[in-house]
Amino acid sequence: MEYLYYLANASLTLRVVQFLHGKPQIPVSFVTVIHQIDGWVVRVKLRRHVSPQEDGDIRAFLSELGISYEPKMRVQMAFWSLEAGQCPVDVMRRYQVAIVSHGNPEKEEIEAFRQQFVRGLGYCPETLA
């Protein structure tokens, strides 16, 4: 079971990470966070199916923050490669996607990415707010 959502900015992405950390009963296998020029893609893969009630709660929360996402082939290939155990740096090079986190995401990883990106640009684009 998995959830794949598009989020508009870093703050919303951080809320998803905090939500998952605050719900240890959700059997998260891994979370992949990808930054795109126009927003963020978050994929949450579960170890097992959850009850319809839990599924509905997770979907409701994610739908409040973003929209369900259908990845383009390049992003889908990156997801498959990461799931197969390939190194994130190799996957980023091969598919030209910015993988911010894969595995058990920490708030600090997203914050560090945001700070480095903003420092490099010299301003803060809306997607990194």
CATH number for the domain including 63?
Answer: 3.30.70.1950
| Beta bridge partner(s), residue 103 | 31
Give the model's confidence band at 109: pLDDT under 50 very low, under 70 low, under 90 confident, else very high.
confident
Residue 45 is part of which domain span?
2-70+98-108
As for how many domains the chain has, the answer is 1
Residue 55 lies in a domain: yes
Is the residue at 22 inside a domain?
yes
Q: Is residue 126 part of a domain?
A: no
Task: Assess whether pLDDT exceeds 80 at residue 98.
Answer: yes
Q: Would 34 be classed as within a structural domain? A: yes
pLDDT of residue 107: 85
**In a domain? residue 80:** no
pLDDT score for 128: 66
Cα 94 to Cα 78: distance, rounded to the nearest angstrom = 8
86: its two tokens: 């390939």
119: pLDDT confidence band, cut at 50, 70 and 90?
confident
Alpha helices in the chain (DSSP H): 10-21, 52-65, 73-83, 88-95, 107-121
pLDDT digits (tens, 9 = 90+) for 82-96: 999 999 999 999 999
**Residue 44 main-chain phi, psi, to 5 deg:** -115, 115
**Pairwise CA distance, residues 69 & 42, whole Å:** 9
d(CA 100, CA 49): 26
